[in-house]
């Protein structure tokens, strides 16, 4: 079964997308998805309504519409379409209103917006991205006292995407340090990292997956060989154990999962942006 779905918002539509997608993925259907952000006036809303109605005429099946729009006038245009319309935030706001005993003030809010009240937090998040880039891949071992996490691992095990996700999503200053083939004869924790044992976190990965990833980069190289990958993983895991460094095998996890598991394991609290 295939259904068309629209994620519509007067803002970025990121919340509508994330939530709508989470809801729809509970059902065994394939999706044809459209995201329409910044529906900020009635003219734009009428355009979108036309698109929904045209599709209904063509397919004789109601397009699914997950929307979040503050203005009642703009919202009304979408609701008058022939789609199956679900106001995602409102569905959850209504019951909460009863529990809180106060009315919502929806006009005040842009979920991913920049306002005077969150500017300081936002700037700290951008500073975390800067810090993380400047401390990617062992580029700099200076100012490591400012890092909140220092990721360790061999080439292509996921250090860089994880560090960037931690910075982007959670505003965490994440440095990362690579162990290379040259380190393997006598693998040791660099002296510069030793004072920061409490914030070190190791990544590991199945040698088969590592080899497949490295093949993409340098086909048929020693670097990508299963034998080399097996040896490197055995060495770094031994190093993690010897130095009591907490670590995670990233093979079956996305950057979102690796990042949140890391925060959970290190007992770090999450800030939201």
Examine residue 29 and tell whether it contacts its own copies (CB under 8 A): yes
- The half-sphere exposure of 247 on its side-chain side, counting CA atoms within 13 A, is 24
* Residue 91 is a binding residue for its own copies (CB under 8 A): yes
Question: Is 204 assigned to a binding site?
Answer: no
**Binding residue count for its own copies, defined by CB under 8 A:** 81
Q: Please say which residue, 225 or 260, places its beta carbon nearer to its own copies.
A: 260
Which of the stretches 45-53, 102-110, 172-180, 221-229 binds its own copies when contact is defined by CB under 8 A? Answer: 102-110
Q: Which of 158, 156, 152, 155 is nearest to 250 (CA)?
A: 158
Q: Dihedral sign, CA of 87, 88, 89, 92?
A: positive
Q: Which helix (DSSP H) or strand (DSSP E) does residue 86 occupy? A: strand 84-87
Phi then psi for 151, rounded to 5 degrees?
-85, 140
CA distance 61 to 47: 19
**Residue from 69, 89, 233, 236 in contact with its own copies (CB under 8 A):** 89
Query: Nearest to residue 83, comparing CAs of 2, 1, 17, 6?
Result: 6
Task: Report 231-270 residues binding its own copies (CB under 8 A).
Answer: 252-257, 259-261, 264, 269-270
Residue 156 annotated in ligand binding? yes
Decide whether 102 or 191 has the Cβ nearer to its own copies: 102
Q: Give me the least distance between CB of 187 and its own copies, in Å please.
A: 25
Q: What is the closest distance, in whole angstroms, from the C-beta atom of residue 22 to its own copies in the complex?
A: 5
Cα gap 240→245, rounded to integer Å = 5
DSSP letter at 10 equals: S
Nearer to its own copies, 150 or 164 (CB): 164
- Is 160 annotated among the ligand-binding residues? yes
**Greatest extent of the chain over all pairs of C-alpha atoms, in Å:** 70
Which of 41, 111, 143, 180 touches its own copies (CB under 8 A)? 111
Tell me the window of 32-40, 46-54, 186-194, 238-246 that interacts with its own copies (CB under 8 A). 32-40
Size of the chain, expressed as the number of residues it contains: 273
Find out whether 153 is annotated in a ligand binding site.
yes
Radius of gyration of the chain (CA): 24
Q: Which two tokens stand for residue 244?
A: 């009591």
Under rule CB under 8 A, which residues in 132-151 are in contact with its own copies?
A: 133, 136
Nearer to its own copies, 97 or 143 (CB): 97
Q: Is 229 annotated as contributing to ligand binding? A: no
Eight-class DSSP state of 102: S
Strand partners, 122: none
- Residues between 147 and 176 that touch its own copies (CB under 8 A): 158, 160-161, 164-165, 168-169
Contact mark string toward its own copies, 172..211, x via CB under 8 A: ----------------------------------------
Q: How far is the CB of 189 from its own copies (least distance, A)?
A: 26
8 Å CB contact between 81 and 49 = yes
């Amino acid at each position: 079964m295939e259904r068309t779905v629209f994620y519509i918002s007067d803002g970025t539509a990121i919340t509508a997308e994330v939530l709508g997608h989470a809801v729809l993925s509970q059902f065994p259907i394939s999706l044809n998805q459209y995201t329409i952000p910044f529906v900020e006036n009635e003219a734009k809303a009428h355009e979108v309504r036309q698109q929904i109605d045209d599709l209904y005429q063509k397919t004789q099946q109601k397009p699914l519409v997950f929307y979040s729009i503050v203005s009642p006038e703009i919202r009304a245009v979408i609701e008058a379409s022939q789609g199956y319309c679900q106001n995602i935030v409102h569905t959850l706001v209504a019951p909460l209103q009863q529990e809180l005993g106060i009315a919502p003030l929806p006009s005040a809010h842009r979920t991913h917006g920049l306002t005077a009240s969150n500017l300081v937090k936002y700037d700290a998040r951008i500073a975390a991205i800067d810090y993380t880039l400047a401390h990617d891949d062992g580029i700099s071992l200076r100012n490591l006292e400012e890092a909140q996490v220092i990721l360790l691992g061999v080439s292509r095990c996921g250090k860089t995407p994880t560090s960037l996700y931690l910075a982007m999503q959670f505003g965490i200053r994440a440095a990362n340090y690579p162990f290379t083939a040259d380190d393997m004869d006598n693998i040791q924790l660099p002296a510069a990292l030793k004072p920061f044992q409490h914030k070190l976190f190791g990544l590991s990965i199945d040698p088969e997956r590592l080899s497949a990833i490295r093949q993409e980069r340098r086909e048929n190289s020693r670097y990508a060989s299963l034998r080399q990958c097996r040896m490197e993983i055995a060495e770094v895991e031994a190093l993690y154990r010897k130095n009591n460094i907490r670590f995670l095998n990233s093979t079956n996890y996305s950057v979102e999962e690796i990042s949140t598991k890391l925060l959970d394991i290190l007992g770090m609290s999450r800030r939201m942006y």
